[in-house]
Amino acid sequence: MPLPFPVFDAAQTGGADGLGDLPEWNLDDLYAGEDAPELTRDMEWLEEACASFAADYEGKLAGLDAAQMLDCVQRYEEIDVIGGRIMSFAGLRYYQNTTDGDRAKFFSDCQDAITRFTTPLVFYSLEINRIDDDALAGLFATNTDLARYKPVFDRLRAMRPHQLSDELEKFLHDQSVVGAAAWNKLFDETIAGLEFTVDGETLNIEGTLNLLTDPDRAKREAASRELARVFNNNIKLFARVHNTLAKEKWVEDQWRNMPTPQTGRHLSNHVEAEVVEALRNAVVAAYPQLSHRYYALKAKWMGLDTLQVWDRNAPLPIEETRLVNWAEARETVMDAYAGFDPEMAKIAEPFFDKGWIDAAVKPGKAPGAFAHPTVTTVHPYVMLNYLGKPRDVMTLAHELGHGVHQVLAAGQGELLSSTPLTLAETASVFGEMLTFRKLLDAAKTDTERKVLLAGKVEDMINTVVRQIAFYDFECKLHAARAEGELTPEDINALWMSVQAESLGPVFEFMPGYETFWAYIPHFVHSPFYVYAYAFGDGLVNALYAVYEEGDAAFQAKYFDMLRAGGSKHHTDLLAPFGLDATDPNFWAKGLSMISGFIDELEAMEG
C-alpha cells in the first residue's frame, strides 16, 4: 500500500492578511465523505479482493506462465489503487486538521482495516523473491506487457538479501499500526497542538516559525526563545519518540541484515551508497565556500559581527517588506512555467481551478507543505501554509512542480509511477529555478537583483547545506542509539555538533537552540529522507546548466524524464542530458552554481 503519510517539505514562513481568497481542497474526486457509499463499496471490495488474490496465488507464483503472472501483477496493482485511494482520502482529511478527534479516529480506523485486509498479501513479494533469476527472465522475454513491470520486480528483488520468513514478515505487517505509524501520529498531533506566546499573541508552530523571517529583530529573537521554551518543555516526549523509532529501526535492520541504518533508504531510493557518500562529502567540503562565506556576507549587510540563530532566515535590511497575494503568486508561477513550455502551465492549471490546493493556515492543520500523488486514477493534491512572503511563492512553485511530475508519471500506472525520493525533488526544484530566473530577469535595479540572489542562495543553502547537516545528525543519532538509550541532552549535543560545522564561525547559538531538532518531521516520518533534497538540488543545477546551453530538444527530454516516473534508474534518466550522478565531478558542478551566485553577491560589494 502507498504510504498514508506524505513527506513534508521544510516548514514555510510567511506574512498575514490581505492574501485574497485562498483555495481549499475539494476531496470529492476521492470520496464525497466518510459515509460515501462509494467508500463503503471500495472497503468491501478491497477485503474480498485481497482474500481472493491470496486464495488464487499463494504458494503458486513460481509456477505461473507469463500471461498468468501478468494477470497476477495487474490484480495486485488494482488492489494497490483502491487501498491507496482510501488512505489518501483519510490522510488528507486528517492533515487538514490533525487535532480533530473524529478525523484522527477515521484515519486510524482506515489504517487498521487496510492493514488487516492486506495481511494475506505479504506472501506476494516473498514468493517473487524466491523465483529463480533465469525463470523470471524467461517470463519477461516471452511477454512484453509483463516485461514493462520489470523495474517493479527489480525493486522487490533488491530486498532479497534482507527478506525474513513469511511468518515474520506477516507479523511486522500486522504490528506496523502500533509501531512506527503510531509514533508518527503522536508526533504529528503533539506538534500541531503546541501553543507559543509571542508578544502576548498565542500562535501555533507555523505562525511562530513564520516570525523567524520578520523584519523586526526583537520579534525574531522573541519567537526563537519561545520556540526553545516550548520545545524544552516537551523535550522528553520528543526524545522518547526518537529513541523508540531509532531502536525499532535498529531491531528490524538487525533481523534483515542491513549493513547500515541508511541501507534501507538507499535501496528504496534505488541509489548506490557510494553516490550518496560522494554527495555528502562534496557538500561538507564546500561548507566554507557556501554557507560560511554567505553568512559572513549577511552579517556584514546587517551590520553585525556575529549572527544569532534568529538572523539565519532574516530579511535583508534593503529588502522591501511586502505581501504577495494569492492571485499574484499564481500569476508569477504560471508565467514562469509557461515561459519554459506552455504544456507545463496547462498541466498546472487545474490545481488552482479544481480544488487541488489547500493553501490557508488554519488551527490544527499540519505545518509545512507537500504534494500528495494520491493514486494514478485520480490526481495529486498540494498542501501549503500560504502566508504571503515572496519565499512562499517559491514554495508554491516547488509543490506545483511535484504535482506536475506526479500528473505526468501517472501514465505509468500505480506500480511504476512513484519516483524514488532522490528523483522526486527534480521537478519541484526545477519549478523553483524557473520561477527564480524569471524574477531575476525582471529585476529593475541592482538592489532588487541583490535581494533575489541572496534569497535564492539562502534557499539553496537550506536545501543543500542544511539538509546534509540534517543527514549527518541522523547518521550520528542512529549510530549513538545503537549503543544505548539517548537522553535529551545526548540528542541535543549531536544536533549542535552538525549545526556549528555547517553554519560556520560567524554564528552564535542561544541557549535552547540545541532542542530545535525536535520539530523536524522528516526524522520521524522518513529516516534519512533529507539527503534527497540535496540530491535533487544538485541534479537540477546540472540539468538547468544544460537547459541554459540551449539544447533545442531539452523540453521534450525533460517531459520524457518526468513521464518515466519510477520506471528508470537515475543513470538512464540523466543519460539523454549527458549527465551522470555516479561521476564524482557531478556534484561539484551543481555546487558551483551556488558559489557562483555568492561570487556575484561579493562582486556587488566591490
Query: b vs e for 377-390, b when ≥16 Cβ sit within 10 Å of the residue's Cβ?
Result: ebbbbbbbbbbbbb
- Quote the DSSP letter at residue 568: S
pLDDT of residue 421: 78
Q: Helix or strand or coil: residue 357?
A: strand
Distance from chain centroid for Cα 263: 18
CATH number of 27-181: 1.20.140.70
- Quote the DSSP letter at residue 120: G
355: closest CA among 28, 24, 21?
24
pLDDT of residue 2: 34
357-358 and 381-383: which strand pairing?
parallel
Beta-carbon contacts of 68 under 8 Å, excluding residues fewer than 6 positions away, are none
pLDDT of residue 9: 56
201-203 and 196-198: which strand pairing?
antiparallel
- The domains of the chain are located at 27-181
Sheet (strand 370-372) strand order: 357-358, 381-383, 370-372
pLDDT of residue 175: 81
Distance from chain centroid for Cα 2: 14
Distance from chain centroid for Cα 97: 20
pLDDT of residue 319: 74
pLDDT of residue 11: 43
DSSP 437-494: HHHHHT--SHHHHHHHHHHHHHHHHHHTHHHHHHHHHHHHHHHHHTTS---HHHHHHH
pLDDT of residue 151: 93
For the CA atoms of the chain, what is the radius of gyration?
Answer: 24
C-alpha cell at position 243 = 529513541
Give one word for 364, left, alpha or beta, with left for phi > 0 and alpha for psi -120 to 50: left
Distance from chain centroid for Cα 465: 16
pLDDT of residue 3: 37
**H or E element: which one contains 383?**
strand 381-383
Q: Helix or strand or coil: residue 606?
A: coil
Are 358 and 25 in contact by the 8 Å Cβ rule? The answer is: yes
Three-class SS of 182-222: HHHHHHHHHHHHCCEEECCEEECHHHHHHHHHCCCHHHHHH
Beta-carbon contacts of 386 under 8 Å, excluding residues fewer than 6 positions away, are 12, 14, 19, 22, 326, 329, 359, 360, 361, 392, 395, 396
Residue found under cell 540563530: 309
DSSP 242-294: HHHHHHHHHHHHHHTT-SSTTHHHHHHHT--HHHHHHHHHHHHHHGGGTHHHH
Give dist(CA 410, CA 419) in Å, integer: 11
Q: Provide block-wise average pLDDT over 10 residues at a time, the chain (606 residues).
A: 44 58 97 97 98 97 97 98 98 94 95 94 91 95 96 89 82 81 91 94 92 94 97 97 96 94 91 93 96 96 96 87 89 97 98 97 90 97 92 92 97 94 88 92 88 92 95 98 97 96 96 97 93 90 90 94 93 92 85 93 85
Tell me the C-alpha to C-alpha distance, in Å, between residue 313 and each of 100, 160, 214, 295, 360. Answer: 32, 45, 9, 10, 22
Are 540 and 349 in contact by the 8 Å Cβ rule? The answer is: no
For the chain, helix, strand, coil in percent to 5 are 70, 5, 30
Query: b vs e for 261-286, b when ≥16 Cβ sit within 10 Å of the residue's Cβ?
Result: bbbbbbbbbbbeeebbebbbebbbeb
Beta-carbon contacts of 126 under 8 Å, excluding residues fewer than 6 positions away, are 163, 166, 169
pLDDT of residue 1: 34
pLDDT of residue 268: 86
Question: From the DSSP assignment, how many helices (H) and strands (E) are in the chain?
Answer: 29, 5
pLDDT of residue 10: 45
pLDDT of residue 606: 61
